[in-house]
């Protein structure tokens, strides 16, 4: 039996993404909707990048983080959407083992980087609203640059330990991934070996890199809301709230859907629900303003 498993493992060079396999009659309309969303997302974020880069009036910390988030959003959706769109048309899509791992690595790294960039942007809002006199000297270009670079570095280093472990897993059973992209949970489910030593480090790392920035974001907005409530004038409250309202929506949708997919047991019991929530943080993303 071990020889057969070893032989099967050697022959597996690709996976099959099932995507939204139950949408046979609706595949064209769904494809057109997702294609339109992808084009709008790319166009909007590229316009933001160009505006922030060439308009000197926008060379400030808020738009610096906005530009970084837009760059990340372009990379983020592009790592998922093209393959997903192709899978929608053919109702299933082949993806090589190495390409699947690469997609998982890029996607996971950008998820972590986005968590930290959102946290950095929330800290910027906190200083601007709660500590306005200290904002200019504290939030210097050097600090903004360090926060942004640090977010990207942490993102791409966060999976350095997990990736080799996943790549060494034996795959000798089904090669069908019931998802529209190579998610870690979906890959691990296909392994016929002991995945305990992969799941535990992956869970610990994922908890640290998601919980810490999320906690920092919650703390920042607790302080921000407390400060806004103390502003005497209604117009002052509205002006302060408008500064960070859209960012709060992005954080809520992004972090909320991530927690449902990766923390809630119901997500693993209902694959279609898992896919629906996954769409919300991979393809359908609210604007970064």
Q: Is the pLDDT of residue 237 over 70?
A: no
Among 136-145, 169-178, 231-240, name the most confident range. Answer: 136-145
pLDDT of residue 148: 93
pLDDT of residue 113: 92
For residue range 253-285, what is the model confidence (pLDDT) as tens digits?
Answer: 777 777 666 655 555 556 666 777 777 777 776
For residue range 4-35, what is the model confidence (pLDDT) as tens digits?
Answer: 444 444 456 788 888 776 666 777 888 888 89
- Say what angle helices 141-157 and 61-78 make with each other, to 10 degrees: 20
- Coil, strand, or helix at residue 93? strand
For residue range 165-180, what is the model confidence (pLDDT) as tens digits?
Answer: 888 888 876 788 888 8
pLDDT of residue 232: 75
CA pseudo-torsion sign 107, 245, 129, 213:
negative
For residue range 154-168, what is the model confidence (pLDDT) as tens digits?
Answer: 999 988 888 888 888
If you search the block for the tokens 């999976």, which residue do you land on?
159
pLDDT of residue 49: 92
pLDDT of residue 270: 63
DSSP state of 41: H
pLDDT of residue 71: 92
Nearest to 177, CA basis, from 85, 104, 77: 104
If you search the block for the tokens 């002006």, which residue do you land on?
239
For residue range 89-130, what is the model confidence (pLDDT) as tens digits?
Answer: 776 678 888 888 899 899 889 988 998 998 998 888 888 888
When pLDDT is cut at 50, 70 and 90, the band that residue 288 belongs to is low
If you search the block for the tokens 């790549």, which residue do you land on?
167
The overall average pLDDT reported for the chain is 80
For residue range 52-91, what is the model confidence (pLDDT) as tens digits?
Answer: 998 888 888 888 998 999 999 899 889 888 888 888 877 6
- Number of helices (H) and strands (E) in the chain: give both, helices first: 13, 3
Nearest to 280, CA basis, from 188, 154, 180: 180
- The domains found in the chain, sorted by start residue, are 2-282 (1.20.1070.10)
- Coil, strand, or helix at residue 35? helix
Of 51 and 275, which is predicted with more confidence? Answer: 51
pLDDT of residue 149: 94
- Which helix (DSSP H) or strand (DSSP E) does residue 189 occupy? helix 184-189
With contact defined as beta carbons under 8 Å apart, do 116 and 39 qualify? no
Q: Is the pLDDT of residue 3 over 60?
A: no
DSSP state of 110: H
């Amino acid at each position: 039996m071990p020889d057969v498993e070893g032989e099967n493992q050697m022959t597996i060079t690709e996976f099959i993404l099932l995507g939204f396999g139950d949408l046979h009659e609706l595949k064209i309309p769904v494809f057109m909707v997702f294609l339109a969303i992808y084009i709008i997302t790319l166009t909007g974020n590229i316009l933001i990048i160009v505006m922030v880069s060439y308009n000197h009036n926008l060379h400030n910390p808020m738009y610096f983080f906005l530009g970084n988030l837009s760059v990340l959003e372009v990379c983020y959706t592009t790592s998922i959407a093209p393959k997903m769109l192709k899978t929608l048309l053919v109702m299933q899509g082949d993806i090589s083992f190495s390409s699947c791992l690469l997609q998982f690595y890029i996607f996971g790294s950008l998820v972590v980087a986005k968590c930290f960039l959102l946290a950095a942007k929330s800290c910027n809002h906190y200083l601007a609203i709660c500590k306005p006199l200290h904002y200019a000297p504290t939030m210097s270009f050097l600090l903004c640059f360090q926060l942004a670079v640090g977010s990207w570095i942490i993102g791409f280093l966060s999976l350095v330990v997990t990736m080799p472990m996943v790549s060494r897993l034996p795959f000798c059973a089904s090669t069908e991934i019931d998802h529209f992209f190579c998610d870690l949970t979906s890959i691990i489910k296909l392994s016929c070996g002991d995945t305990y030593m992969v799941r535990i480090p992956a869970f610990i790392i994922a908890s640290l890199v998601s919980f810490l920035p999320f906690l920092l974001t919650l703390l920042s907005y607790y302080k921000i809301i407390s400060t806004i409530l103390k502003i005497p004038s209604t117009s002052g409250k509205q002006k302060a709230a408008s500064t960070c309202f859209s960012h709060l929506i992005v954080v809520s949708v992004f972090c909320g859907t991530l927690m449902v997919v990766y923390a809630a047991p119901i997500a693993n019991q209902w694959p279609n629900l898992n896919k629906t929530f996954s769409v919300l943080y991979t393809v359908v993303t609210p604007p970064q303003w």
